[in-house]
Structure 1
Amino acid sequence: MASAPYITPEGLFQLNQELSERWQRRREVVRALAAAAAEGDRSENAEYIYRKKELRELDRRIRYLQKRIPDLTVVHEPPDDTDRVFFAATIRLQTESDEQVQYRIVGPDEIDHQKGNISVDSPLARALLGKSVNDEAVIQVAGQHKQFTIVTITY
Protein backbone atom coordinates (compact mmCIF):
# COMPACT_ATOMS: atom_id res chain seq x y z
CA MET A 1 0.00 0.00 0.00
CA ALA A 2 1.39 3.40 -0.97
CA SER A 3 1.73 5.90 1.84
CA ALA A 4 -0.65 8.85 2.02
CA PRO A 5 0.55 11.93 0.11
CA TYR A 6 -0.51 14.37 2.84
CA ILE A 7 1.74 16.51 5.00
CA THR A 8 1.40 19.43 7.39
CA PRO A 9 3.19 22.71 6.63
CA GLU A 10 5.58 22.00 9.52
CA GLY A 11 6.33 18.56 8.10
CA LEU A 12 7.09 19.98 4.65
CA PHE A 13 9.42 22.54 6.20
CA GLN A 14 11.26 19.74 8.04
CA LEU A 15 11.65 17.66 4.85
CA ASN A 16 12.97 20.65 2.89
CA GLN A 17 15.38 21.44 5.72
CA GLU A 18 16.56 17.82 5.77
CA LEU A 19 17.12 17.90 2.00
CA SER A 20 19.18 21.07 2.31
CA GLU A 21 21.25 19.56 5.15
CA ARG A 22 21.83 16.36 3.16
CA TRP A 23 23.12 18.37 0.18
CA GLN A 24 25.49 20.27 2.49
CA ARG A 25 26.71 17.02 4.07
CA ARG A 26 27.15 15.50 0.59
CA ARG A 27 29.54 18.32 -0.38
CA GLU A 28 31.64 17.59 2.74
CA VAL A 29 31.68 13.84 2.03
CA VAL A 30 32.73 14.36 -1.61
CA ARG A 31 35.67 16.50 -0.44
CA ALA A 32 36.71 13.84 2.10
CA LEU A 33 36.24 11.10 -0.50
CA ALA A 34 38.50 12.92 -2.98
CA ALA A 35 41.16 13.34 -0.30
CA ALA A 36 40.94 9.63 0.62
CA ALA A 37 41.13 8.61 -3.04
CA ALA A 38 44.28 10.65 -3.48
CA GLU A 39 46.02 8.54 -0.85
CA GLY A 40 46.57 5.69 -3.29
CA ASP A 41 45.44 2.06 -3.01
CA ARG A 42 41.66 2.23 -2.57
CA SER A 43 41.10 -1.46 -1.88
CA GLU A 44 42.62 -1.23 1.62
CA ASN A 45 41.79 2.41 2.31
CA ALA A 46 39.21 2.35 5.14
CA GLU A 47 38.49 6.09 4.86
CA TYR A 48 37.78 5.76 1.14
CA ILE A 49 35.49 2.74 1.65
CA TYR A 50 33.62 4.46 4.49
CA ARG A 51 33.10 7.69 2.52
CA LYS A 52 31.87 5.76 -0.55
CA LYS A 53 29.28 4.03 1.64
CA GLU A 54 28.25 7.31 3.28
CA LEU A 55 27.92 8.97 -0.12
CA ARG A 56 25.68 6.12 -1.36
CA GLU A 57 23.41 6.50 1.68
CA LEU A 58 23.22 10.28 1.26
CA ASP A 59 22.44 9.96 -2.45
CA ARG A 60 19.71 7.40 -1.73
CA ARG A 61 17.97 9.70 0.78
CA ILE A 62 18.38 12.78 -1.45
CA ARG A 63 16.80 10.91 -4.39
CA TYR A 64 13.92 9.80 -2.17
CA LEU A 65 13.28 13.33 -0.87
CA GLN A 66 13.52 14.83 -4.37
CA LYS A 67 10.88 12.38 -5.61
CA ARG A 68 8.65 12.52 -2.50
CA ILE A 69 8.44 16.27 -1.81
CA PRO A 70 6.83 17.29 -5.15
CA ASP A 71 4.22 14.53 -4.76
CA LEU A 72 3.06 15.72 -1.33
CA THR A 73 -0.15 17.65 -0.73
CA VAL A 74 0.18 20.23 2.03
CA VAL A 75 -2.90 20.47 4.24
CA HIS A 76 -2.98 24.11 5.37
CA GLU A 77 -6.52 24.47 6.66
CA PRO A 78 -8.52 22.45 9.17
CA PRO A 79 -11.56 20.64 7.75
CA ASP A 80 -14.97 22.31 7.67
CA ASP A 81 -16.25 19.87 10.30
CA THR A 82 -13.82 20.27 13.21
CA ASP A 83 -16.02 18.10 15.45
CA ARG A 84 -14.77 14.98 13.68
CA VAL A 85 -11.33 13.40 13.31
CA PHE A 86 -9.51 14.15 10.08
CA PHE A 87 -5.91 14.68 8.98
CA ALA A 88 -3.88 16.97 11.31
CA ALA A 89 -6.27 16.47 14.23
CA THR A 90 -4.90 16.21 17.74
CA ILE A 91 -6.97 13.65 19.61
CA ARG A 92 -7.03 12.92 23.32
CA LEU A 93 -8.14 9.34 23.95
CA GLN A 94 -9.13 7.39 27.01
CA THR A 95 -7.91 3.80 27.12
CA GLU A 96 -9.69 0.82 28.64
CA SER A 97 -7.57 1.30 31.79
CA ASP A 98 -8.81 4.94 32.12
CA GLU A 99 -5.42 6.29 31.07
CA GLN A 100 -5.45 9.30 28.74
CA VAL A 101 -3.16 9.49 25.72
CA GLN A 102 -2.83 12.12 23.02
CA TYR A 103 -1.96 11.70 19.35
CA ARG A 104 -1.77 13.92 16.30
CA ILE A 105 -2.61 12.43 12.92
CA VAL A 106 0.08 13.42 10.40
CA GLY A 107 1.54 12.20 7.14
CA PRO A 108 3.82 9.14 7.08
CA ASP A 109 6.86 11.40 6.61
CA GLU A 110 6.18 13.14 9.95
CA ILE A 111 5.87 10.20 12.35
CA ASP A 112 7.41 10.99 15.73
CA HIS A 113 6.29 8.75 18.60
CA GLN A 114 7.90 10.99 21.22
CA LYS A 115 5.70 13.89 20.09
CA GLY A 116 2.67 11.62 19.69
CA ASN A 117 2.58 12.03 15.90
CA ILE A 118 1.06 8.97 14.25
CA SER A 119 0.67 8.29 10.55
CA VAL A 120 -2.71 8.72 8.90
CA ASP A 121 -2.01 5.24 7.51
CA SER A 122 -1.65 3.63 10.97
CA PRO A 123 -4.35 1.26 12.23
CA LEU A 124 -5.26 3.61 15.10
CA ALA A 125 -5.58 6.66 12.85
CA ARG A 126 -7.68 4.72 10.34
CA ALA A 127 -9.96 3.59 13.17
CA LEU A 128 -10.33 7.19 14.40
CA LEU A 129 -10.93 8.98 11.08
CA GLY A 130 -14.43 10.40 10.80
CA LYS A 131 -15.30 9.78 14.44
CA SER A 132 -16.48 12.38 16.98
CA VAL A 133 -16.06 13.01 20.72
CA ASN A 134 -17.32 10.06 22.83
CA ASP A 135 -17.08 7.67 19.85
CA GLU A 136 -15.11 4.48 20.37
CA ALA A 137 -12.39 3.05 18.19
CA VAL A 138 -11.21 -0.55 18.41
CA ILE A 139 -7.96 -1.84 16.94
CA GLN A 140 -6.19 -5.16 17.13
CA VAL A 141 -2.67 -5.10 18.57
CA ALA A 142 -0.65 -8.29 18.99
CA GLY A 143 -3.79 -10.41 18.81
CA GLN A 144 -5.65 -8.34 21.40
CA HIS A 145 -8.42 -5.82 20.90
CA LYS A 146 -7.67 -2.35 22.27
CA GLN A 147 -10.52 0.06 22.76
CA PHE A 148 -10.21 3.85 22.86
CA THR A 149 -12.80 6.54 23.54
CA ILE A 150 -12.33 9.98 22.01
CA VAL A 151 -12.22 12.66 24.72
CA THR A 152 -11.27 15.77 22.70
CA ILE A 153 -10.49 16.74 19.12
CA THR A 154 -8.51 19.88 18.25
CA TYR A 155 -6.92 21.31 15.12
Structure 2
Amino acid sequence: MSRWKAPLPKSSPYITPAGYQRLELELKNLWIKRKEVVEALSAAAAEGDRSENAEYIYRKKELRGLDRRIHFLQRRMPLLNIIADSPADQDKVFFAAWVLLENDKGDELLYRIVGADEFEVDKRYISLDSPLAQALLKKTFDDEVLIRNEHQAVRYSVLDIQYGNEFVVD
Protein backbone atom coordinates (compact mmCIF):
# COMPACT_ATOMS: atom_id res chain seq x y z
CA MET A 1 0.00 0.00 0.00
CA SER A 2 1.38 3.38 -0.99
CA ARG A 3 1.40 6.60 1.01
CA TRP A 4 1.15 8.70 -2.13
CA LYS A 5 -1.58 11.30 -2.09
CA ALA A 6 -2.86 13.13 -5.10
CA PRO A 7 -1.88 16.81 -5.02
CA LEU A 8 -4.55 19.25 -3.93
CA PRO A 9 -6.06 21.36 -6.69
CA LYS A 10 -4.49 24.80 -7.03
CA SER A 11 -6.42 27.43 -5.13
CA SER A 12 -7.24 30.82 -6.57
CA PRO A 13 -4.40 33.32 -6.07
CA TYR A 14 -6.63 36.19 -4.93
CA ILE A 15 -6.70 37.88 -1.55
CA THR A 16 -8.14 41.02 0.01
CA PRO A 17 -5.74 43.66 1.42
CA ALA A 18 -6.82 42.80 4.98
CA GLY A 19 -6.18 39.11 4.33
CA TYR A 20 -2.70 39.84 2.99
CA GLN A 21 -1.91 41.97 6.04
CA ARG A 22 -2.95 39.07 8.28
CA LEU A 23 -0.58 36.75 6.42
CA GLU A 24 2.27 39.28 6.76
CA LEU A 25 1.60 39.58 10.49
CA GLU A 26 1.45 35.80 10.84
CA LEU A 27 4.80 35.44 9.07
CA LYS A 28 6.39 38.10 11.29
CA ASN A 29 5.04 36.39 14.43
CA LEU A 30 6.25 32.99 13.22
CA TRP A 31 9.80 34.33 12.91
CA ILE A 32 9.62 35.72 16.46
CA LYS A 33 8.22 32.41 17.76
CA ARG A 34 10.91 30.50 15.83
CA LYS A 35 13.65 32.46 17.59
CA GLU A 36 12.15 31.56 20.98
CA VAL A 37 11.85 27.88 20.03
CA VAL A 38 15.46 27.76 18.78
CA GLU A 39 16.65 29.20 22.11
CA ALA A 40 14.59 26.63 24.06
CA LEU A 41 15.86 23.87 21.76
CA SER A 42 19.47 24.88 22.39
CA ALA A 43 18.87 24.86 26.14
CA ALA A 44 17.26 21.42 25.95
CA ALA A 45 20.09 20.08 23.79
CA ALA A 46 22.63 21.25 26.38
CA GLU A 47 21.00 19.07 29.04
CA GLY A 48 22.60 15.90 27.76
CA ASP A 49 21.17 12.71 26.25
CA ARG A 50 18.82 13.84 23.47
CA SER A 51 17.22 10.47 22.83
CA GLU A 52 15.38 10.57 26.18
CA ASN A 53 14.98 14.33 26.47
CA ALA A 54 11.26 15.06 26.04
CA GLU A 55 11.80 18.83 25.93
CA TYR A 56 14.33 18.45 23.10
CA ILE A 57 12.06 16.13 21.12
CA TYR A 58 9.06 18.44 21.60
CA ARG A 59 11.01 21.54 20.54
CA LYS A 60 12.37 19.81 17.41
CA LYS A 61 8.82 18.89 16.41
CA GLU A 62 7.59 22.43 17.13
CA LEU A 63 10.46 23.89 15.08
CA ARG A 64 9.60 21.63 12.12
CA GLY A 65 6.00 22.83 12.21
CA LEU A 66 7.05 26.49 12.33
CA ASP A 67 9.53 26.02 9.50
CA ARG A 68 6.91 24.27 7.38
CA ARG A 69 4.44 27.15 7.80
CA ILE A 70 7.12 29.81 7.21
CA HIS A 71 8.23 28.02 4.05
CA PHE A 72 4.64 27.78 2.82
CA LEU A 73 3.96 31.48 3.43
CA GLN A 74 7.21 32.55 1.80
CA ARG A 75 6.32 30.56 -1.32
CA ARG A 76 2.62 31.48 -1.39
CA MET A 77 2.61 35.20 -0.63
CA PRO A 78 4.50 36.37 -3.76
CA LEU A 79 1.98 34.47 -5.90
CA LEU A 80 -1.06 36.21 -4.42
CA ASN A 81 -2.89 38.99 -6.26
CA ILE A 82 -4.20 41.61 -3.85
CA ILE A 83 -7.62 42.77 -5.03
CA ALA A 84 -8.24 46.18 -3.46
CA ASP A 85 -10.62 47.77 -5.98
CA SER A 86 -14.34 47.13 -6.17
CA PRO A 87 -15.61 45.99 -9.57
CA ALA A 88 -17.12 48.51 -11.97
CA ASP A 89 -20.45 46.63 -11.97
CA GLN A 90 -21.36 46.39 -8.29
CA ASP A 91 -24.74 44.84 -9.05
CA LYS A 92 -23.04 41.49 -9.76
CA VAL A 93 -21.25 39.08 -7.46
CA PHE A 94 -17.48 39.08 -7.81
CA PHE A 95 -14.49 38.52 -5.53
CA ALA A 96 -14.75 40.27 -2.09
CA ALA A 97 -18.53 40.72 -2.38
CA TRP A 98 -20.81 40.45 0.61
CA VAL A 99 -23.84 38.44 -0.53
CA LEU A 100 -27.08 38.19 1.41
CA LEU A 101 -28.91 35.00 0.46
CA GLU A 102 -32.23 33.43 1.30
CA ASN A 103 -32.51 29.65 1.29
CA ASP A 104 -35.55 27.41 0.64
CA LYS A 105 -36.61 27.62 4.29
CA GLY A 106 -36.65 31.41 4.28
CA ASP A 107 -33.47 31.76 6.36
CA GLU A 108 -31.20 34.67 5.47
CA LEU A 109 -27.49 33.88 5.20
CA LEU A 110 -24.66 36.38 4.77
CA TYR A 111 -21.40 35.40 3.10
CA ARG A 112 -18.32 37.18 1.81
CA ILE A 113 -16.38 35.66 -1.07
CA VAL A 114 -12.66 35.74 -0.28
CA GLY A 115 -9.49 33.93 -1.28
CA ALA A 116 -8.59 30.44 -0.16
CA ASP A 117 -5.92 31.85 2.17
CA GLU A 118 -8.33 33.86 4.30
CA PHE A 119 -11.71 32.13 4.53
CA GLU A 120 -10.97 30.70 8.00
CA VAL A 121 -10.86 34.19 9.55
CA ASP A 122 -14.63 34.55 9.84
CA LYS A 123 -17.44 32.00 9.66
CA ARG A 124 -19.19 34.21 7.12
CA TYR A 125 -16.24 34.05 4.72
CA ILE A 126 -16.36 31.44 1.97
CA SER A 127 -13.56 30.55 -0.40
CA LEU A 128 -13.74 31.68 -4.00
CA ASP A 129 -13.10 28.02 -4.86
CA SER A 130 -16.14 26.72 -2.95
CA PRO A 131 -19.14 25.41 -4.90
CA LEU A 132 -21.44 28.11 -3.50
CA ALA A 133 -19.06 30.94 -4.42
CA GLN A 134 -18.54 29.50 -7.90
CA ALA A 135 -22.29 29.31 -8.40
CA LEU A 136 -22.77 32.89 -7.17
CA LEU A 137 -20.14 34.51 -9.41
CA LYS A 138 -21.67 37.00 -11.87
CA LYS A 139 -25.14 36.58 -10.38
CA THR A 140 -27.21 39.67 -9.66
CA PHE A 141 -30.18 40.63 -7.47
CA ASP A 142 -33.05 38.11 -7.39
CA ASP A 143 -31.01 35.47 -9.24
CA GLU A 144 -31.25 31.94 -7.91
CA VAL A 145 -28.56 29.30 -7.57
CA LEU A 146 -28.96 25.61 -6.89
CA ILE A 147 -26.27 23.77 -4.92
CA ARG A 148 -26.37 19.98 -4.96
CA ASN A 149 -24.41 17.48 -2.94
CA GLU A 150 -24.93 13.77 -2.38
CA HIS A 151 -27.49 14.37 0.38
CA GLN A 152 -29.58 17.33 -0.74
CA ALA A 153 -30.14 20.20 -3.10
CA VAL A 154 -30.50 23.72 -1.72
CA ARG A 155 -31.77 26.71 -3.66
CA TYR A 156 -30.56 30.20 -2.72
CA SER A 157 -31.92 33.53 -3.85
CA VAL A 158 -29.67 36.61 -3.95
CA LEU A 159 -31.21 39.37 -1.81
CA ASP A 160 -28.36 41.91 -1.65
CA ILE A 161 -24.81 42.45 -2.90
CA GLN A 162 -22.35 44.86 -1.29
CA TYR A 163 -18.66 45.62 -1.50
CA GLY A 164 -16.50 46.89 1.35
CA ASN A 165 -15.00 45.65 4.58
CA GLU A 166 -18.35 45.20 6.32
CA PHE A 167 -21.93 44.51 5.26
CA VAL A 168 -24.15 47.55 5.88
CA VAL A 169 -27.78 46.82 6.76
CA ASP A 170 -30.09 49.22 4.92
Specify the TM-score bucket, using the shorter chain as the normaliser: over 0.9
Partner of 2:49: 41
Local SS of the residue matching 2:70 = helix
Deviation at 1:114, TM superposition (A): 4.1
Local SS of the residue matching 1:43 = coil
Tell me the number of residue pairs that the alignment of Structure 1 and Structure 2 aligns.
155
Paired with 1:48 and 1:95, the residues of 2 have a C-alpha distance of 53
Local SS of the residue matching 1:134 = coil
Cα root mean square deviation, aligned: 1.0
- One-letter amino acid of the structure 1 residue matched with residue 159 of structure 2: V
Partner of 1:15: 23
Deviation at 1:118, TM superposition (A): 0.4
- The yes-or-no answer on 1:138 pairing with 2:138 is no
Q: For residues 63-111 of structure 1, what are the alpha-carbon distances to aligned partners after superposition, in whole Å with 9 as ceiling and x for unaligned?
A: 0000000000000101111000000000000010000000000000011
Write out aligned runs for 1:83-102 (5 A). Answer: 83-102=91-110
Paired with 2:85 and 2:123, the residues of 1 have a C-alpha distance of 21
Paired with 1:111 and 1:127, the residues of 2 have a C-alpha distance of 17
TM-score by length of 1: 0.98
Local SS of the residue matching 2:31 = helix
After superposition, the Cα gap between the structure-2 partners of 1:121 and 1:136, relative to the gap in structure 1 and judged at 3 Å, is same
Paired with 2:159 and 2:120, the residues of 1 have a C-alpha distance of 22
Deviation at 1:140, TM superposition (A): 1.4
Write out aligned runs for 1:2-151 (5 A). Answer: 2-112=10-120, 114-151=122-159
Work out the percentage of aligned pairs sharing the same amino acid.
54
The 4+ residue runs of structure 1 with deviation greater than 3 A are none
TM-score by length of 2: 0.89
